[in-house]
Structure 1
Amino acid sequence: MNNFQPSHTLINKLTTIYQLYGETSNFEKYYRKELEKLANVAKIQSTDSSNRIEGIYTSDSRLNKIISDKVEPRDRDERKIAGYRDMLSLIHENYRYMSITKNTILSMHNMLFKYAGDSWGGHFKDINNKIIAKYADGHEEVRFNPPDAFLVPELIDGLCKQYNEAFERGEISPLVLSAAFVFDFVSIHPFRDGNGRMSRLLMLLTMYRSGLEVGKYISLEKIIEDSKESYYDVLATSSVGWNENQNDYAPFVNYYLAVVVKAYRDLIERIGLVHNHKELKADKLILKTLQQQLRPLSRAELVELIPQYSQTTIQRNLKQLRDEKRSNQLEKGKILNTFLVKTPKMTKNNSK
């Protein structure tokens, strides 16, 4: 890692992560039902966000049906979404058996593209490519020129061996190793397509191997999507000098750790709502959540924030609250008027 020296900021983030990890260590024992619901929400969000970062979309209704495997993908975007769904499930269920090797990475890429019908699924790139950053305003920039295609098999093999050897030595935090591994993978850019999505899947897998399971319950991909400008900025900053082995990993590692910190804080917040408001009925908890968030929320966000109640229960109580608002302008109606539930986001293919 180019004589990487952790800063006080980085050390503080690592300390915070393991403190937060300690706070969540008993969640599986006491909140199993709520965690199962959060895992289902996270799976949808992770699939959606990781694909959206790459400009891959479908409507919210189609997304939910694809995640539930209730419909067949009907276009190229949906086939890519279905592949990501399957890879997420595989990692969540089988990460203990997935070693970090070149063959594992090729197999993951093959599964990612198994519905797409592309001949390059499961094969390293055979042409040179560039790393393109896509920004919110629609413009794109060449961020980095990766190594030539003929170098990729050896580079990926060497990356995996170096990661595994460093992991076994235990001299560097496994989370820092995870961040460096993901960054080097992106910099090698080993595939013709799917490199960004693969990097986020490898983030989840290496975090599992580090003993941290927060990515099962809180979508790491959504946190990255929500901070996409920063994500591209740190990728660009840490890329300078990479081909000469003179780059600075610190900007990306610090960003990476900040994502993990936020994921743990979000998990604690979700379970905290359960623990602190066990006796509140659904309608009261919806209103309390809207008040605490101080912003409009979508139905999906409410479902995520209130894991002790099902989506159906939340939707039914939202309807009742709206009916009460129309007939009663007392305090409850005013609260809803101040914190209106926002409508679902529009996506490129919402007309489908």
Structure 2
Amino acid sequence: MKQFDYQTLNHLALNSEIVKKLTTIYQLRGETSSYAIDYHEELQKLVEVAKIQSTDASNRIEGIFTSDSRLNKIMSDKVEPHNRDEKEIAGYRDVLSLIHENSQYMPISTRTILGMHNILFKYSGDSWGGKFKDINNKIIAKYADDHEEIRFNPPEAFLVPDLIDQLCNSYNQAVKDEKFSPSILSAAFVFDFVSIHPFRDGNGRMSRLLMLLTMYQLGFEVGKYISLEKIIENSKESYYEALAASSQGWNDNQNSYTAFVDYYLGVIVKAYRDLIERMGLVHNQTHKLAADKLILKVLQQQLKPLSRAELVELIPRYSQTTIQRNLKKLRDENKIKIVGAGKNTKYVLSH
């Protein structure tokens, strides 16, 4: 019978890479601790950018898409979802907003997990939204070349309710006992959740939402400002490799959490470094600098073509509309030029 040993995490040994990443996370969290006061307005803009990126990336990992214009309208709740993909995107948007605004009122429990899943699928009309699976399923890994592989056979459906209860209880007790760093416990919880694969659909998205929820509750709020889901999407093959490595022996309580914990901590480190980079650009920009001058400065500093979305991220002081207007102005003045087309459109300095 599967057990969750969160007192030892199957005798997890903290290797040098994990220790280094843990140390870095706490250092970077300390460096960013004053941002909420120093850069309040800029952070609020980053929150909105991160919400869009997180919703888009987490759904894209599962093969769920819509156009950029439709995504932005769905995120701002200006349109009704047209199809199945858009309905699931709208559901993710709502769960994400719930976590952003109410994480302190959402204990890690079976009730919370079922409630989140119900919201995730509330627009799709599926009868199984908010209910554990009643048929057995498999964990499928999807790769960049579009091929799929069966990665893992999760527990049978009838075992799921007890396993989720045990997982939540073991995690909550371990957080209280402080046997491990909170970020390691969050990683183990997310990994075990996705290994149980408790729902017919939405398990991957739920695992990433639970990553955000547990991290917020444990005092690591970087995911509000930098999309953790986008980082995972950009390293998807490493994500699947870490899941596969830590899955071996899971059903017999013999698995090692090392590979997934190492990957998970790496995502958090990158998020903090990205946040510091964003705020560093803000800090180094005088408040008198106009949007067009900031665009030119950022393009000069980054030394590579940047998309409009990337410029919006890097210049949180100005809105997307302002950035778009000034990109046109700079093009008309022949100070910047376009490379690529369509979704791949990017901007570079003309000289």
Q: Which bracket does the TM-score occupy, shorter chain normalised?
A: over 0.9
- Is 1:21–1:212's contact at 8 Å kept on the other side of the alignment? yes
- Is residue 67 of structure 1 aligned with residue 83 of structure 2? no
Please give the residue correspondences for 1:8-27 in structure 2 after superposition, counting only pairs within 5 Å. 8-27=16-35
2:65 pairs with one of 28, 35, 57: 57
State the identity %.
73
Deviation per CA, 1:41-97, whole angstroms, max 9, x where unpaired?
Answer: 000000000000000000000000000000000100000000000000000000001
- Is residue 121 of structure 1 aligned with residue 129 of structure 2? yes
Q: Could you tell me which residue of structure 2 aligns to residue 350 of structure 1? A: none
Q: Could you tell me which residue of structure 1 aligns to residue 168 of structure 2? A: 160
Please give the residue correspondences for 1:200-349 in structure 2 after superposition, counting only pairs within 5 Å. 200-278=208-286, 279-325=288-334, 333=335, 336-337=336-337, 340=339, 343-345=342-344
Please give the residue correspondences for 1:92-107 in structure 2 after superposition, counting only pairs within 5 Å. 92-107=100-115
What is the CA-CA distance between 1:309 and the residue it aligns to? 1.3
What is the CA-CA distance between 1:343 and the residue it aligns to? 4.2
**Counterparts of 1:206 and 1:341, CA distance in 2:** 39
Q: Please report the TM-score for the alignment, with normalisation by the length of structure 1.
A: 0.93
Q: Could you tell me which residue of structure 2 aligns to residue 148 of structure 1? A: 156
**Counterparts of 2:263 and 2:14, CA distance in 1:** 13
Deviation per CA, 1:292-347, whole angstroms, max 9, x where unpaired?
Answer: 2232221111101111111121111111111111xxxxxxx4xx35x84864259x
Q: Could you tell me which residue of structure 1 aligns to residue 204 of structure 2? A: 196
- Is 1:155–1:188's contact at 8 Å kept on the other side of the alignment? yes
What is the CA-CA distance between 1:8 and the residue it aligns to? 1.4
Q: Please report the TM-score for the alignment, with normalisation by the length of structure 2.
A: 0.93
The count of corresponding residues between Structure 1 and Structure 2 is 336
Moved more, 30-39 or 309-318: 309-318
Task: Give ranges in structure 2 of 5+ residues lacking alignment.
Answer: 1-8, 346-351
**Counterparts of 2:151 and 2:299, CA distance in 1:** 40
Counterpart of 1:11, as a letter, is V
**Counterparts of 1:6 and 1:342, CA distance in 2:** 46
Q: CA RMSD in A?
A: 1.3
Segments of 4+ moved more than 3 angstroms:
339-343
**Counterparts of 1:78 and 1:272, CA distance in 2:** 35
SS at match of 2:333: helix
- Is residue 90 of structure 1 aligned with residue 89 of structure 2? no
**Counterparts of 2:307 and 2:21, CA distance in 1:** 30
SS at match of 2:140: strand
Q: Could you tell me which residue of structure 2 aligns to residue 44 of structure 1? A: 52
Counterpart of 2:290, as a letter, is K
What is the CA-CA distance between 1:280 and the residue it aligns to? 2.7
Deviation per CA, 1:92-144, whole angstroms, max 9, x where unpaired?
Answer: 00000100001110111001000010011000000100000111111100000
